[in-house]
């Protein structure tokens, strides 16, 4: 992926001040999703970093991680595992609590979603404080999955979210 595509993606990200609460500057990716060429370019970024890793499943975090993760899983021909906010999955789940910049919550994953030893890549749109991705990584590891990498379209570096992922390699394409 050329630097021109990265520049176009960066230009399309819209800042929304004071959302979801005062003091937060929300990075809105809907302009990327609305543009077929930019959406394809964003998926291609994830795919470039997945190829050759013998991935067995992609895990996506509720909700925007579903958009990128399912497209990547489809293209790679591997399974997709959703990690959702508490109370959204219908079968037996494992729960992980987390904090984020505007509150606390819980994430869940079906207990049978990942088999021990499966090679996993975690995909989400944004790495901020690392609360949700750290909880997702904990759920993957608790299930016995081998978390190869965590990939994000956007990283807010000043929030140091990578620390929540401990020893997991982190890839992010647009850094702020």
Dig out the tokens for 58 from the structure: 């992609």
pLDDT in tens, 9-47: 999 999 999 998 899 999 999 999 999 999 999 999 999
Query: Which residue numbers are catalytic?
Result: 64, 101
Rg (CA), the chain: 15
Note whether 159 and 101 are within 8 A (CB): yes
Do β-strands 79-85 and 57-61 pair in parallel, antiparallel, or remain unpaired?
parallel
pLDDT in tens, 55-71: 999 999 999 999 999 99
Per-residue confidence (pLDDT) for residue 102, from 0 to 100:
62
Q: CA 38, CA 41: separation in Å to the nearest integer?
A: 5
Per-residue confidence (pLDDT) for residue 113, from 0 to 100:
98
Per-residue confidence (pLDDT) for residue 105, from 0 to 100:
87
User: Is pLDDT above 70 for 106?
Assistant: yes
Name the pLDDT band for 1 (thresholds 50, 70, 90). low
Percentage of residues in the chain having pLDDT higher than 70: 97
Q: What's the whole-number mean pLDDT along residues 121-126?
A: 98
Q: CA 52, CA 36: separation in Å to the nearest integer?
A: 26
The three-state secondary structure class of 29 is coil
Q: Indicate the CATH number for domain 46-175.
A: 3.40.50.2020
Q: What's the whole-number mean pLDDT along residues 132-136?
A: 96
State the CB neighbour count (10 A cutoff) for residue 168. 17
């Amino acid at each position: 992926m050329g630097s021109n595509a990265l520049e176009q993606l960066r230009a399309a990200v819209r800042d929304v001040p004071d959302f979801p609460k005062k003091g937060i500057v929300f990075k809105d990716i809907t302009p990327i999703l609305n543009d077929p060429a930019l959406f394809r370019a964003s998926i291609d970024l994830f795919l470039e970093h997945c190829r050759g890793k013998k991935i067995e499943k992609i895990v996506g975090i509720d909700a925007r991680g579903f958009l990128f993760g399912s497209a990547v899983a489809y293209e790679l021909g591997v399974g997709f595992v959703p990690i959702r906010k508490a109370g959204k999955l219908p079968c037996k789940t494992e729960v992980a609590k987390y904090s984020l910049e505007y509150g606390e919550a819980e994430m869940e994953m079906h207990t049978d979603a990942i088999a021990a030893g499966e090679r996993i890549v975690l995909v989400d749109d944004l790495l901020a404080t690392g609360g949700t991705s750290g909880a997702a990584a904990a759920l993957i590891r608790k299930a016995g999955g081998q978390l190869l990498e965590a990939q994000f379209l956007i990283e807010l570096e000043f929030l140091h979210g990578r620390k929540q992922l401990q020893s997991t390699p982190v890839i992010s394409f647009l850094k702020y």
